Structure 1
Amino acid sequence: MNATWNITANRIENLIQSLKTERKKPFCAYIYDLKQLREHVSLLTATLPSQCRLFYAVKANSDATILKALAPIVHGFEVASLGEIEKVRTVDTRIPVIFGGPAKTDDEIQGAIHHGVSLLHAESFHELRRIEYIAGQLDVVVPILLRVNLGGPLSTATLQMAGVPTQFGIEEAQVPEAIALARSLQHVDLQGFHFHAMSNNLDAEGHARFITHCVDKAQTWAGEFDLRISYLNVGGGIGVNYHDLERQFDWPVFTSQLDQLIKDHGQPNATMLFECGRYVTAACGHYAAEVLDIKQNHGKHFAVVRGGTHHFRLPAAWKHSHPFTVVPIDEWRYPFARPELSDSAVTVAGELCTPNDVLARDVVVPRIRSGDIILFRYTGAYGWAISHHDFLSHPHPEQIFLDRDDLAID
């Protein structure tokens, strides 16, 4: 991890310094390393047990260039709207797609059928009946998984979608009733269960235990109801450590335990699905924003950048300081002194008219000057895609995609 990051970081910083010499306006860009992305995901798919399939959760980053890079490597895409289905089908008309989400409209269910979605995740009794009604009108049979909201406690993660009261899935105690309903319907084919329960879990051993729990539950229901389970979707939830980038989720430990789990508990005919997003694309993305001003208020130092949470909302949403480095830009075009700080704690704030527009707080930096560029790391997931782009109508950042030694700019 360290060596890979150092190579990538040097490459990105050199690129930024080069591009800055060509631009008179303040620099602001998302930069994606597609080569790093392909290598990372190829390693994930190669090291998963053969009974497993890796689907990319499009919600993490739905950019068409990212989807095109991933389509030949992942086993499919996980989507949460008709819009995401259409984005995927624009990239690949045949790749497997699985569709989840707690509030599917009739148009989305019809669209999923029209676009050949492989599995539809039924989130409630009412949604199950609506799938049956719409499939009946179209005279088709829809393969489904029942999304289960497991009882707790579950493995610790940043966000919990199960084990606590949420809008997701069918409560575990009601699953037998849901199985009975699904089996009574003529246009629904129950093929297994969906257990997406958490987001950003950093504990590899804990995540393996969670999957063991899912497998045990599914096998219990299969025995009680004489079900043939074709698929177990154990969700995503594998996290990124934004607080210490050198200590990430231990993928080798996880896959080793997963392999043993499948040998001990797996059903021979069941395929285990993963729908990972953050863990797939986070590391390939970088967000760069030029420092416009350095100032002090009430004893605190601020670096105000061309950019902010309207481009990169994750730090404000999760209330954390996002990791960054400072890219030095030596050129200074003004005839007066250049504001700077040395060996000081600085809060990185954006250009929006709100005190909530903060990307990092009280981070000690060796040196930072107006005109330098702050490079935020691990921004390839839940960055641009989730941000309120047009608040205050500032210009959007450039979108730069690196592919080997080539450079493409939109």
Structure 2
Amino acid sequence: MKTSQPLHNALLQPYPVEDHCLVIGGIPLTRLMQRIGRTPFYAYDRRLIRERVSLLRQHLPQGVHLHYAMKANPMPAVVQHLAQLVDGIDVASAGEMKIALDTGITPENISFAGPGKSRQELACAIAAGIVLNIESEQELTAIIELAEQMSLRPKVAIRVNPDFELKSSGMKMGGGAKQFGIDAETVPTILARIARTNIDFEGLHIFSGSQNLKAEAIQESHEKTLQLAVQLTTASPVRVRTINIGGGLGIPYFPGEQPLDLAVIGSNLGKLLAEVAPALPGVRFVMELGRYLVGEAGIYVCKILDKKVSRGQVFLVTDGGLHHHLAASGNFGQVIRKNYPVAIGNKMSMTDTEIVSVVGPLCTPLDLLADRMMLTRAEPGDLVVVFQSGAYGLTASPLAFLGHPAPTEVLV
């Protein structure tokens, strides 16, 4: 029978512990639960988000603009907080666009990516003056038609599906046949068409993958991305003002995974940008990140309702589960299920441990937050904490499944 190792200290470093209790945003977990009034809840630490942006500013080449991919965590308070720290926001729906515009970030620094945008979404984006990342030739046709009807000049960029992928990435977004973007070999035809219109062309968005923990793979992707950018820009009949090189920076979730060395990645990117500068004069470069900005700054907290033993296996039954945190259950992209880092948040430094499985209240064996994991010995009323929960948590989960109440979200 396999068991997971206890939560390793590297993932605990951002969170102090006082009197056995986890502290987030300067507030002991039990006090925070009292303030909120109930479990389950997500809590995001504004200090950790601010420190992550500062770390990126320290290591990325000067002049590289930092954008937040809101899909990672669209909680309005989180987006408002990040809007004061980053240079722009990427959205993936009209709903996200509204949240981004409410922050006061200028429309030209908001971009809208994603396949299958409706005509209504396109019209809203054109009216707002944000940058539309074109995902297909048909989408371009719709934009041209709407621009004429609305008597407005839309801002557009081309999302490029490169002919390479980000190796070792958790989610491959480029290379091969993809629903995302326009194949690199087709881009020159689209650029020629744009040149014959009154569209305000912004540039290129080249994104090849996400959740990568291998610096050498990210370095190779940056090199290939910039080579492709030079090739497309040199042949473009319209001026390219911005090149979005995507993100792809991953965070560690599981035992054995190590955080990225940003200094190495930033230094290499600086060298590459210097090499392509003569071919791309006046071009603004953007790095777009989501999970890397917020993933490690969030926790999910639920309360133990019952403790039971079934044929020798201990189960902690909680009021949370996959309907709130699909990713932690292993059902959001994992091929082989692994445990997220989990702890008993009000008994952090206690040494009495046991092997348990943490489950939720749903009528499915998939409702599993920790499988045979070594945790501090816990009882009903104790608080289970799932770390690395700041990205792709609540809004990436089947909240309506079985009709349980929605969890609260707080930024502290």
- For normalisation by structure 2, the TM-score amounts to 0.87
Cα deviation per residue 1:174-221 (whole Å; 9 max; x = unaligned)?
Answer: 22222222223x132333211122121112232122121111112112
- Does 1:71 pair with 2:83? yes
2:182 counterpart of 1:170 = yes
Q: What's the CA shift for 1:132? A: 1.2
How far apart, CA to CA, are the structure 2 residues paired with 1:360 and 1:190? 48
The alpha-carbon deviation at position 110 of structure 1 amounts to: 1.1
Q: Which residue of 1 aligns with 2:307?
A: 294
Q: Is the 8 A contact 1:202 1:241 kept in 2?
A: yes
- What is the aligned-residue identity percentage? 31
Partner of 1:406: none
Provide the rounded CA distance (Å) in 2 between the counterparts of 1:224 and 1:249.
35
- Residues 1:215 and 1:350: Cα distance change in structure 2 (over 3 Å): same
Name the residue aligned to 1:242: 253
Mark the CA change 1:261 to 1:287 in structure 2 (over 3 Å): closer, same or farther: same
Q: Which residue of 2 aligns with 1:387?
A: 397
Instruction: State the match for 2:3 in structure 1.
Output: none
Q: C-alpha distance in 2, partners of 1:214/1:4?
A: 34
Residues 1:394 and 1:296: Cα distance change in structure 2 (over 3 Å): same
Pairwise CA distance, 1:101: 0.7
How far apart are the structure 1 equivalents of 2:11 and 2:352?
26
Alignment partner, residue 92 of structure 2: 80
Give, as a single letter, the amino acid of the residue that structure 1 aligns with 2:86.
Answer: V
122-131 or 6-15, which moves further after superposition? 6-15
The residue type equivalent to 2:398 in the other structure is H
**2:290 pairs with 1:281:** no
Distance 1:224 1:17, change over 3 A: closer
Structure 2 residue corresponding to 1:317, chosen from 319, 325, 332? 332
Provide the residue aligned with 1:183 in structure 2.
195
Structure 1 distance, partners of 2:128, 2:202, is 19
How many Å apart are 1:20 and its aligned residue? Answer: 5.4
Query: Counterparts of 1:113 and 1:211 in 2: how far apart (Å)?
Result: 31
Distance 1:295 1:130, change over 3 A: same
Question: Given the superposition, is the C-alpha separation of residues 144 and 369 from structure 1 closer, same or farther in structure 2, using an over 3 Å criterion?
Answer: same
Partner residue, 1:270: 283
Deviates more, 1:84-93 or 1:285-294: 84-93
- TM-score, length of structure 1 as denominator length: 0.87
Distance (whole Å) between structure 1 residues aligned to residue 375 and residue 48 of structure 2: 27
When the two structures are aligned, how many residues end up with a matched partner? 389
Deviation at 1:10, TM superposition (A): 3.8
Checking the alignment, whether the CA contact within 8 Å between 1:158 and 1:199 is kept in structure 2 is yes
Q: Distance in 2 between matches of 1:306 and 1:377?
A: 17
Aligned match of 2:112: 99
Structure 1 residues not aligned, in runs of 5+: 331-340, 403-410
Query: Whole-Å Cα distance in 1 between the matches of residues 112 and 34 of structure 2?
Result: 45
Please tell me whether residue 218 in structure 1 is matched to residue 229 in structure 2: yes
The yes-or-no answer on 1:196 pairing with 2:207 is: yes
Give 1:2-401 correspondences, 5 Å limit: 4-7=13-16, 10-12=22-24, 15-19=28-32, 27-92=39-104, 94=106, 96-117=109-130, 119-184=131-196, 186-225=197-236, 227-244=238-255, 247-266=258-277, 267-315=280-328, 316-319=331-334, 320-328=338-346, 343-401=353-411
CA distance in 2, matches of 1:173, 1:157: 23
| Alignment gaps of 5+ in structure 2 | 1-9
Query: After superposition, what is the alpha-carbon deviation per residue over 1:304-329, rounded to whole angstroms, capped at 9, x for unaligned?
Result: 11111111111221343111111246
Q: Is the 8 A contact 2:225 2:245 kept in 1?
A: yes
Task: Write the distance in 1 (CA, Å) between the matches of 2:147 and 2:256.
Answer: 47
Q: In the aligned structure 1, how far is the partner of 2:274 from the partner of 2:191?
A: 27
Q: Is residue 162–residue 207 contact of structure 2 (8 Å, CA) maintained in 1?
A: no
**Per-residue Cα deviation, 1:242-262 (whole angstroms, up to 9, x for no partner):** 114872122221111111111
Give me the whole-angstrom Cα distance separating, in 1, the residues matched to 2:294 and 2:134: 27
How far did 1:276 drift?
A: 0.8
* Mean CA deviation greater in 32-41 or 282-291: 32-41
- CA RMSD in angstroms comes to 2.6
Q: Deviations over 1:335-391 (max 9, x none)?
A: xxxxxx964332221111111111222212242333221111111111112222232
Q: Deviations over 1:92-134 (max 9, x none)?
A: 26362011111111111111121120x2111111111111111
Identify the residue that residue 4 of structure 2 maps to in structure 1: none
Measure, in 2, the Cα distance between the counterparts of 1:89 and 1:210. 31
Over 3 Å counting, the alpha-carbon distance change for 1:140 and 1:18 in structure 2 is closer
Distance (Å, rounded) in 1 between the aligned partners of 2:30 and 2:231? 59
Task: Say if 2:165 and 2:173, in contact at 8 Å, map to a contact too.
Answer: no
Give the letter for the 1:371 counterpart. Answer: G
1:259-308 Cα distance to aligned partner (Å, 9 max, x none): 11111123231111122110011111111111122223355332211111
SS in 2 for 1:148: strand
Of stretches 150-159 and 57-66 in structure 1, the one that deviates more from structure 2 is 150-159
Residues 90 and 113 in structure 2, CA contact (< 8 A), matched pair in contact too: yes
CA contact (8 A) 1:347 1:363 kept: yes
**1:42-79 CA distance string (max 9 Å, x none):** 33234422231111111111111101111111001100
C-alpha displacement of 1:231: 0.9
For the Cα contact (< 8 Å) 1:163–1:197, is it kept in 2? yes
**Deviating more after overlay: 140-149 vs 302-311:** 140-149
- Alignment-mate amino acid for residue 179 of structure 2: Q
